[in-house]
Structure 1
Amino acid sequence: MTDSVFSFTELPIRPAAGSADLDKTVVIIPHPDDESLGCGGLLALLRRARVPVRAVLVSDGTMSHPNSRKFPAAARQALREAELREALTILGVETEPTLYLRLPDGAVPGPGAAGFTAAEQQLRAYLAQEQPATILVPWRRDPHPDHRATSQLVQAALTGLPFAPRLLEYVVWAWERAAPADLPQPGEVSGWRLDIGLVLAQKQQAIAAHRSQLTGLIDDDPHGFQLSEAMLAHFARPFEVYLEAN
């Protein structure tokens, strides 16, 4: 990230108490762990305030260790979905209403690609049923193709709904990988940091539930993915960043 262009760490702080005003919320999750990393603190605060929260998992999560024989694709999917349910439970979020789109990890379709329209329709139906006041979605230019495709999917699904939820964008990979063009541009969004100190330990417990991404649980793929200590450090701070279109 280039702080001279835009600095997440210099955004104004908002107190935890205001999060309850978001009312019923749906969190859109590209991969299991994004919910805990990007907005786990807010989810915990919402549930402490007894605000209803629902979750949508977009990808099947299978590409973190694509060469594992101990955990073939179906087993990786089941493992990562189980980790997500554990993390959501730690954050106080009910897991039964979760929508699993199970789009291909690493190849979540964008507009015009095969599978996009069907996923858009499925997500729109879910949102119409749940009628959230707020949707949490990855930052539109978060530098991971699945995160960008997820943002596009949400925008398409919102078209035609008889209500307009508030859209808050959370940051995951932009902490580490953002080029200047990936960051918010002047006048594009308003941003702030949410104080999550009250629930930081709870957020850390939720992150730790994603053992396949943090430990040697899947130990037979030498090229498998693990979250680095440097990456995790961004999410050990007592605030989370949110961006909202002007």
Structure 2
Amino acid sequence: MTDSLVSAPQLFESLPLFPAEYVQSFGPTVVVAPHPDDESLGCGGLLALLRRVGLPAWCVLVSDGTMSHPHSEKYPAPARQALREQELREALGLLGLSDQDLLTLGLPDGAVPGPDAPMGATAVSQLQNFLSATQPQTVVVPWRRDPHPDHRATSLLVQAALAGLPSPPRLLEYVVWAWERAAPTDLPQPTEAHGFQLDISSVLSLKQQAIAAHRSQLTGGPIDDDPTGFTLAPSMLAHFARPVEVFFHLTS
């Protein structure tokens, strides 16, 4: 399944396709996003489908999102954080969530700590309290080896939080940077995880609107005074214009 000759897109596109109605099995769901935009890129269709069928959904934002344009003087760090959170709230609104459905942890973008660090341990406690209060049936988090350090740290935080719950919810994992940056060893191995594609064609336009709400991460965005700043490349965006989303669950 993860032969070195098989690319990540080939692997993901070979997975079985599940119909949109499969979201009924998710039940109430929490999506965990390392940065503002991950929720729309990886799970925008899922969130829209959940809300369309009346299932509760929440989003947890892990980092403060400030490192996308670290040299901007027009938008210093507090202004970048406020802008990106505003964009996130707009995106979630388009997908059917309210401001009350969002928890922000405010961890440092580019340096999200693991659960053994003091800030990480605090975040684990916050996650456990949130999950105990919301009682989701499913938690969705970036794939544990998604090739971005914040995504991997986010996975560890969520795993630690779930391990401390008496009846942890089901864990599903989505891919973001694995589409373009994954080494063969980063990809899910056939003995550790099963994957599927979820048909989101009926809500694809909503997902695209949600991605577009993250204007600061797109070409021509409002933070225009940092030439080294991050923007999502067209090749990257193309993966998330497809009418499916990819999820994995561990087999053991």
Same fold (TM over 0.5): yes
The residue that corresponds to 1:238 in the other structure is 243
Identity of aligned residues (%): 65
Match of 1:229 among 221, 234, 248: 234
SS of 1:222's equivalent in the other structure is coil
The residue that corresponds to 2:144 in the other structure is 140
The residue that corresponds to 2:164 in the other structure is 160
Structure 1 contact 20–45 (Cα < 8 Å) conserved: no
Q: 2:85 aligned with 1:85, yes or no?
A: no
Q: Report the Cα distance in structure 2 between the residues aligned to 1:191 and 1:212, rounded to whole angstroms.
A: 31
The residue that corresponds to 2:117 in the other structure is 113
Unaligned segments of structure 2, at least 5 residues: none
Match of 2:76 among 58, 72, 79: 72
Q: 2:23 aligned with 1:19, yes or no?
A: yes
Structure 1 contact 134–165 (Cα < 8 Å) conserved: yes
Q: Report the Cα distance in structure 1 between the residues aligned to 2:83 and 2:175, rounded to whole angstroms.
A: 24
The Cα shift of 1:97 comes to: 3.3
The residue that corresponds to 1:4 in the other structure is 6
The Cα shift of 1:160 comes to: 2.3
Unaligned segments of structure 1, at least 5 residues: none
The Cα shift of 1:3 comes to: 5.5
The Cα shift of 1:35 comes to: 0.4
Q: Report the Cα distance in structure 2 between the residues aligned to 1:85 and 1:61, rounded to whole angstroms.
A: 13
Q: Report the Cα distance in structure 2 between the residues aligned to 1:140 and 1:201, rounded to whole angstroms.
A: 28
Q: 2:59 aligned with 1:55, yes or no?
A: yes
The normalised TM-score by structure 1 is: 0.97
The Cα shift of 1:18 comes to: 1.3
Q: Report the Cα distance in structure 1 between the residues aligned to 2:205 and 2:115, rounded to whole angstroms.
A: 38
Q: Report the Cα distance in structure 2 between the residues aligned to 1:64 and 1:110, rounded to whole angstroms.
A: 21
Q: Report the Cα distance in structure 1 between the residues aligned to 2:114 and 2:26, rounded to whole angstroms.
A: 28
The residue that corresponds to 1:207 in the other structure is 211
Per-residue CA distance 1:73-108 (angstroms, 9 max, x = gap): 000000000000000000001222311100000000
The residue that corresponds to 1:171 in the other structure is 175
SS of 2:146's equivalent in the other structure is coil
Per-residue CA distance 1:167-211 (angstroms, 9 max, x = gap): 110110000100001001121111000011000111000000000
The residue that corresponds to 2:225 in the other structure is 220
SS of 1:68's equivalent in the other structure is coil
Q: Report the Cα distance in structure 1 between the residues aligned to 2:54 and 2:150, rounded to whole angstroms.
A: 31
What is the aligned residue count? 246
Match of 1:97 among 73, 95, 101: 101
The 10-residue stretch of structure 1 (157-166 or 98-107) with the greater mean CA deviation from structure 2: 157-166
The Cα shift of 1:5 comes to: 6.6
Output the aligned Cα RMSD.
1.3
Q: Flag as ranges the 4+ runs of structure 1 deviating above 3 A.
A: none
Q: Report the Cα distance in structure 2 between the residues aligned to 1:95 and 1:170, rounded to whole angstroms.
A: 23
Per-residue CA distance 1:124-158 (angstroms, 9 max, x = gap): 11111111100010000000000000000000011
Q: Report the Cα distance in structure 2 between the residues aligned to 1:66 and 1:192, rounded to whole angstroms.
A: 36
